[in-house]
Amino acid sequence: MGDIMDTRYFKAVQDDKKMEVSEVLREVYVALTEKGYNPINQMVGYIMSGDPTYITSHKSARSLIMKVERDEIVEELMRAYVETKLTSNDQKKD
């Protein structure tokens, strides 16, 4: 048994699997839709303001979206837009 003056290290328990940003967005979208909100408007409000009250607490959507940085959300949205809109338009031109 160590001395009471010794420093102890505490390792926090972490989730085995960190959810991908796209999964978080999907779950939040479903929760907002189920509650009758316009999910696009609500998520834009959250991204722009950082105010978590734009997101319902239904299905723990609010706590879920707060685990992801807003810049990561914007990055994921931009990636999806480029992959679906811009890349597919380039292929149509060929």
Q: Does the model's pTM come out above 0.85? A: no
pLDDT digit of tens for each residue in the chain (94 aa)?
Answer: 566 777 776 665 545 456 899 999 999 999 999 999 999 999 999 999 999 999 999 999 999 999 999 999 999 999 999 999 888 766 666 5
* Packing angle, helices 21-34 and 70-81, rounded to 10: 90
User: How many other C-beta atoms lie within 10 A of the C-beta of residue 25?
Assistant: 20
